[in-house]
Structure 1
Amino acid sequence: MTQQELPSALSNILESSQTPDTLFSELLAAVGDFLQSDRCFLCLHNPQNNLTRVAFCWIRTPDVPTVYNEDWEALPPSLVDEDPMFAAALRAEPSIFVEDVETAEPQVLNREYEKKNFGHRALIHAHIRQDGQLWGILQPCIFGHPRIWTEYERGVINNLVEKITPIAVDYVKSAFD
């Protein structure tokens, strides 16, 4: 697939010279607007010590639950077995576009795990990876109903992930310097 050009709202944020904190906060809101999603969060991952942190979360309305961690946390050893999408991300597989949590194949996602921990109905599990290692997951999602992700949207998200990867990697590395 050819690289999909980013909508101007996203490219303008990426081209601005802002701190990563400001850039990611603004970018999540713009991704949420672009996809008309209910929540969009960025989970960062340090592959050297297997710590994660959901450092940024945007929600459309206050009734949507926020996902956020103030501190870096160790991943539970059982996560790879409980969450097939996270296991796929660790294996540096392509991003996953789930149109309906209720009908997705069990090898793609664990329905009960998703309901218990996230509550969304449709989502994008966009893998931020470099040199075969996972550095983060960008996750826009929809609550209450399925969502078809168009080829255009898939292309934009894949292009966006490619563009934010070096920023996310630097952000994670700087947190442990």
Structure 2
Amino acid sequence: MSSPTIQTDLQDVWLPDEPDAVFSALLPALGKVLECDRCFLYLRNPESKMGMVPYCWIRSDEIPTVLDSDWKAEPESLPEEDPLFAAALRTEASVFVEDVETADPKVVNVAFEQREFGHRALIHAHLCQDGQLWGILQPCVFGQPRVWTDLDHTVIDQVVQKITPLAIAYIQTAATESEAEI
């Protein structure tokens, strides 16, 4: 993966500057750049603690999807059961897990990850602003560990900076639309 290739693969993603178009274009482009098997975007309203996964890209049909475009309440037990989610709620830096099976149990609940997601390596990228978690971008790899390079870290940091305001706009628009339906 060279920097010019990344630039080419991701540059067109930002052109529409409209959340749905950006997210739809971003996930396959990011999957290619990071050479991962699945990439999904979890969006949440920090006020209502409702979330959904409206965008998911998979490399092949053998990879399970986690797509769910219905808003659902986050289980109250989730931060205790999932240390990655707890870190995201604390708005800590994104977490790069090279091997779910050998990761520190304080960072990763192996049983939870295997049951809920099935991946072997992942990036848990936190979309945060003003001390609130608005979403999680999660590229991952199945079947084998993955060493995440400095370039992978840089790409994720840049992508998170660009999509966080779009995620907030998406969520605020969805909240306004759902209030109008009531």
Fold match by TM threshold 0.5: yes
TM normalised by structure 2 equals 0.92
Is 1:80 aligned to 2:79, yes or no? yes
User: Match for residue 172 of structure 1?
Assistant: 171
> The residue matched to 1:92 in structure 2 has which SS?
coil
Task: Kindly state the Cα deviation for residue 18 of structure 1 after the two structures are TM-superposed.
Answer: 5.3
Residue 69 of structure 1: how far off its partner (Å) = 1.1
What letter corresponds to residue 8 of structure 1 in structure 2?
A: T
Aligned-partner residue type, residue 93 of structure 2: P
Look up the equivalent residue of 1:133 and give its one-letter code.
Q
CA distance in structure 2 between the partners assigned to 1:175 and 1:88 by the alignment: 25
Unaligned runs of 5+ in 2: 177-182
Partner amino acid for 1:90?
L
SS at match of 1:7: helix
Contact 2:98 2:148 in 1 (8 A): yes
The reply on whether 1:53 has 2:59 as its aligned counterpart is no
- For residues 59-101 of structure 1, what are the alpha-carbon distances to aligned partners after superposition, in whole Å with 9 as ceiling and x for unaligned? 0000100001121000111101000000000000000000000
Counterpart Cα distance in 1 of 2:56 and 2:80: 25
Map of 2:150 onto structure 1: 151
4+ aligned runs moved over 6 Å, structure 1: none
Matched position secondary structure for 1:52: strand
SS at match of 1:97: strand
Matched, 1:10 2:10: yes
Distance 2:82 2:11 in 1: 32
Number of residue pairs the alignment of both structures matches: 173
Give 1:126's aligned residue: 125
Is the 2:19–2:169 Cα contact (8 Å) retained in structure 1?
no
Instruction: State the alpha-carbon separation in 2 of the partners of residues 18 and 95 from structure 1.
Output: 23
The match for 1:117 is 116
Q: Distance in 2 between matches of 1:164 and 1:61?
A: 25
Aligned: 1:138 with 2:137 = yes
Give the structure-1-normalised TM-score.
0.94
Report the RMSD for the aligned CA atoms in angstroms: 1.4
